[in-house]
Amino acid sequence: MRLVAYASANAGKSGVASFLEIYGLFYISQVLGIPTPVAGILLTTSVLWDAITDPIVGWMLDRVGLSTKNITWCFVLGGAVVGACLLMLLAMTLLPSPAGTFCILLLLLTFRTAYTVIDVPHNTLIGFVAASPKARTRVAGLRILFSGLGRLATTVAAAQLISPGAEDMKPDELLNLGGVLTGLLIITLYAAVGSLSAISPVAPIRQRSSIVETLKFCTANAPLRRLFLLSILNSVAFPVLAIVLVYADTVEITHQGNPIPSFVTVLVMAQLLSLALWDALARHLLGRWTTLRVAYAMLALAAFALTYSNAAGLLLLVITMIAGGAQSGVSMMNWALLPDALEANKSGDVPIFGVFGLLTLANKIASSLAPTIVGLLLMWVELGGEPSNADSSITEFLRLTGALLTGISVACLWVSRRSNFSATPPRTSFR
């Protein structure tokens, strides 16, 4: 139950974050009346600010020290500020006059900062709540499960309120959604705090490493360096695939006259349904590193098949299911192996929070490249050209995307082949 309580916070975090990630642009531009280019700049600025604050928050937490009291304060204050910012942002629909751009930006920056105060320590604690390899595999799977459930619930609920017919939307219902998301975040963070009592050290563990010293530690630790590289490549590949599938959902694809289900929905469902399989493989049959390689091999197979999909509905649906399952295994094993990479350092001190802050920074920078990459691919195949060439352009778009993802998957498979530190004994000071 302790592992479930810890991982449940991912549902709350994913719920509030998914609203801005998925519907933020539409809400700010169409509901609050901010011009779309300005709304895009506001959201991009907040994401860049979020990336910058990740290593700073990690550095500050290393200096303050790891203890139940400090983590609890991070969760309580961070959760309260995140919820307040979300509610104030949604309450702007009730104002008699349009909301100002500066006020929206201030709320977004405050939201991102408070979210980082929650996210960095919660991610760091994965190595503390689970000391054994099997437990870390299980808690990594639980994290992905709760994240998927939170994202799915937010998407379904918000889609009923925010739509092209936004003029019929009731502002108080949207505010109620914000209240539900805030409540879910606070409840799950409270559950995560309850999971700390049995595993947190009595005295705070403090690290005086600077951000530069933390970066040197990450580059000098070979296992950690490889996991960083794998995580960065994943952060590029996964959003690219998701964006491509969003585009595929906008095209009317059928099989024998019957409509094909949403590819994005199939991708998320495949991720959730495959967690039990990856957990069984890692804990009972293959081990974590071998399971990670199998997941990358599946992803490479799906990406290679995408180059021959020819925009066929049923084949693309099967490819989506395979890719979703592979993504689940890759994410699960990466999170399970990260504490082992930290423990592979035998020199003593480990700037734990700083490492996770830098990892989050690297992942966000990498994932921000995905829209640009997809845009370049779209320009390459000239999807905006003549209607008579639309089918061939879609096929070429899928083939180029498949070739790119195949290259990334093969590179990840090669990097993971050279890594194996699962036998590293846990460091007592890290528990």
| Stretch 194-223: mean pLDDT | 63
- The conformation of residue 259, written as its DSSP 8-state character, comes to E
Q: Which pair of tokens denotes residue 60? A: 């500050």
Residue that has been written with the tokens 């209607």 in this structure: 387
Q: How far apart are CA 244 and CA 309, in angstroms?
A: 13
In this prediction, residue 430 carries a pLDDT of 35
Q: What is the mean pLDDT of residues 271-282?
A: 84
pLDDT level of residue 388 (50, 70, 90 thresholds): very low
Query: pTM of the full predicted structure?
Result: 0.70
User: Looking at the predicted structure, is the pLDDT value of residue 110 above 90?
Assistant: yes
Rounded Cα gap, residues 94 and 175, in angstroms = 9
CA-nearest of 368, 340, 342, 364 to 353 is 342
Question: Could you tell me the two tokens for 359?
Answer: 């990892």
Mean pLDDT to the nearest integer, 400-422: 78
Compute the distance between CA of residue 198 and CA of residue 417 in angstroms, rounded to an integer: 36
In the numeric block, which tokens belong to residue 135? 């437990």
Please give the DSSP secondary-structure letter assigned to residue 27.
I
DSSP string covering 93-112: GGSSSPPPHHHHHHHHHHHH
Q: Looking at the DSSP assignment, which residues form a beta bridge with residue 205?
A: 66
For the ranges 62-76, 191-205, 331-345, 357-371, the lowest mean pLDDT is seen at: 191-205
Q: What amino acid is encoded at 151 in this protein? A: R
Max mean pLDDT among 53-67, 228-242, 320-334, 356-370 falls in: 320-334
Query: Which helix or strand (DSSP H or E) is residue 287 part of?
Result: none
Q: How far from 120 is each of 43, 116, 423, CA to CA, in Å?
A: 21, 6, 26
Mean of pLDDT over the chain: 75
Neighbouring C-beta atoms of residue 316, cutoff 10 Å: 22
Of 23-32, 67-76, 104-113, 118-127, the poorest mean pLDDT is in: 23-32
Task: Please give the domain boundaries of the chain with CATH numbers for all domains.
Answer: 2-196 (1.20.1250.20), 215-423 (1.20.1250.20)
